[in-house]
Structure 1
């Protein structure tokens, strides 16, 4: 029951995913939460149950971010970035036999999502299972909740 450990572990998950999946070397800034320049982490804790959130810029359009000072950190050059932008800057774009430089947005999002789930599960010793849900099942679930 250590919130600092929990936050640092979430950061570790993202740092590992960025390194192993995209050859992006990300890091923390001492005293601040997040993975600079790509991830903002926010959590809520109630009775030692965490409601966590990660905002990871994968293919985000960053045009308007140039006007934002992240976490009110003035006097530093901490511009917001994205996986897509950084992968395009990396000279070595081959990772695990995949040419990262030419991936489309959907592929980048899919790789990131899969890697985050796997690493999160390992870091927090969780098992996860995928279940295919048909459109009919979604409709039925929505219809049932509206009629109750």
Structure 2
């Protein structure tokens, strides 16, 4: 069997390490200047943690914005915990780095996009992979947190 270097996974590990470094600095020192982040992640990831109503509203993917109001940002080797404000209702989230599909800082036109997830689709439960027929009837987000399309940042 021929051994080869898996550059794709090595690059993804390096990019996730960059996100970890940036978020660790923000946790320690706050956001500098106009920096803010749009982070899109797979809500089906087996280690992602979010409120049931958020998971129902975003059964596959969610974009969070870290900008004006956040608290409790804690970064580990595997992911980060953060509490964000959804209509004056603080909601804690845990986002594994392997679940992140895009990381964008529009203040400096910087972005990372991950083409594949770092976990096996087999890790998802049947419940996680079912398509919702009630997407139009899902409850609306309850406030200030904003879920946005990243198409405007893609080149």
Normalising by the residue count of structure 2, what TM-score does the alignment of the two structures yield? Answer: 0.28
User: Relative to total residues, which structure has the larger strand share, 1 or 2?
Assistant: 2
Q: Which has the larger radius of gyration?
A: 1
Normalising by the residue count of structure 1, what TM-score does the alignment of the two structures yield? Answer: 0.28
Of structures 1 and 2, the one with the larger relative CO (CA 8 A, separation 6+) is 2
